[in-house]
Amino acid sequence: MVVCMKLLSVIVPCYNEEENVSDFYDELFKNTSFFQEKELEVELIYVDDGSCDNTVLEVKKLRERDKRVRLLSFSRNFGKEAAIYAGFQKSKGDYIVLMDADLQDPPSLLPEMYGYIEQGYDSVATRRVTRKGEPPIRSFFARIFYRLMNRISKTEIVDGARDYRLMTRRVVDAILAMSEYNRFTKGIFGWVGYETKWLEYENIERRKGETKFSFWKLFAYSIEGITAFSTVPLTIAAVMGAAFCLVAFVLIVVTVVRTLIFGDPTSGWPSLVCIILLVSGVQLFCLGIVGQYLSKTYMEVKKRPIYLIKEEL
Ligand code: UDP
Ligand code: MG
């Protein structure tokens, strides 16, 4: 009898994760019976996103012992989104799972996730239902972001969704077909569609090391998300402009009529200054919105590569 093994690609973006590389390996392969039972071969792809610590060395050590471990190393830090894209491109698996190196995405969920794939789902996604261990200010802004995002975008972006996701080949091929430079993967997952099963779990804190996302990095990321998946801010700018024109028109009529009836006593100087400040503020704000879209378009038309590989094993 010929046993037809399926290949599972595990993709792990790593940026300065030297302490977590081998812990992740141990944790993933702890439950070998699951892989055997389901006749799954595994390739574990660590994508080193330009780490300046010993991440690459740690991965190489693992590879010496176990050839299932693969390494992709970038020429510099290109960001997690680029690492995800590279991992997907280089993966050969029939099934692909994306996981963080810090073990916030528990490998113990894999059997359950795979069960749903067997049932016919194309994608099994996870979301955390708590934000335990996170700074409250970060949770607060995250919640506002998701609420806003779902108002202004047709693409569903789930609050608390993690990037931890098990997908079939065709989902990953669909994601790869979206070769945009400004990548907001949370939105891309929603955009490609396919039947998705959501699993929920309580937030797990990072095993070792520090988070690689500062508040400002997350803020920039949220702007990325908005410009990539909604053009509503542009409409708001246009509507605001129209509203101000209307108000100005009414005021002109009122002023002319009043002058004709009551003459022209000089008054209203402070209020005039306030109005000029307000209107020029709104103009700059709208210009800024347009600028955001323009800058994203600018980066997009350059068609620069999303990542550059320094070493591949
Ligand atoms: N990461 C990356 N490139 C970056 C930042 C982060 O590849 O520029 C990786 C990081 O090594 C980790 C994952 O993305 O495996 C999630 O990062 P982190 O745990 O710091 O984010 P958080 O869980 O705090 O949102
Ligand atoms: Mg983390």
Over residues 188-236, the pLDDT tens digits come to 998 898 989 998 888 888 888 888 888 888 888 888 888 888 888 888 8
Ligand 1, pocket residues at CB < 6 Å: 13-15, 17, 49, 77, 79-80, 83, 100-102, 104, 206, 211-213
Tell me, in angstroms, the distance from the centre of ligand 1 to residue 105's CA.
Answer: 12
Q: What pLDDT does residue 212 have?
A: 82
Using the predicted structure, report yes or no on whether residue 265 has a pLDDT greater than 70. Answer: no
Work out whether strand 69-74 and strand 123-128 pair parallel, antiparallel, or are unpaired.
unpaired
- Residues with Cβ within 8 Å of residue 95, at least 6 apart in sequence: 6, 7, 8, 9, 40, 114, 117, 166, 167, 168, 169
Decide if pLDDT at 108 tops 70.
yes
pLDDT at residue 266, as a whole number: 67
CB-CB contact of 100 with 17 (8 Å):
no
**Which residue's CA is the nearest one to ligand 1's atom 17?**
212
Q: Is residue 11 pLDDT above 80, yes or no?
A: yes
Residue 22: closest CA among 215, 76, 30: 30
Name the least confident of 12-21, 95-104, 271-280, 292-301: 271-280
Confidence of residue 91 (pLDDT cuts 50, 70, 90): very high
Residues of the chain with pLDDT > 90, as a percent, come to 41
- Work out the average pLDDT over 43-56: 93
Give the H/E segment covering residue 247.
Answer: helix 232-262
Closest ligand, as measured to the CA of 99: 1
pLDDT at 140 over 80: yes
- Residue 201 CB neighbours (<10 A): 17
Rounded Cα distance between 159 and 203, Å, is 13
Report the relative pairing of strands 6-14 and 95-98 from DSSP bridges: parallel
Higher pLDDT, 270 or 97: 97
Nearest residue (CA) to ligand 1, atom 13: 100
- The b/e string for 164-183 (b: 16+ C-beta within 10 A; e otherwise) is bbbbbbebbebbeeeeeebb
Report how far apart, in Å, the C-alpha atoms of 61 and of each of 25, 65, 285 are: 11, 7, 52
Atom of ligand 1 nearest to the CA of 14: 11
Q: For a pLDDT cut of 70, what percent of the chain falls above it?
A: 97
Tell how far the Cα of 99 is from the centroid of ligand 1, in angstroms: 10
d(CA 39, CA 116): 16
pLDDT grade for 1, boundaries at 50, 70 and 90: low
pLDDT at 26: 92
Given a contact cutoff of 8 angstroms between Cβ atoms, the answer to whether 145 and 131 are in contact is no
Alpha-carbon gap, residue 218 to 256, rounded angstroms: 50
Task: Compute, in angstroms, the gap from residue 246 CA to the centroid of ligand 2.
Answer: 49
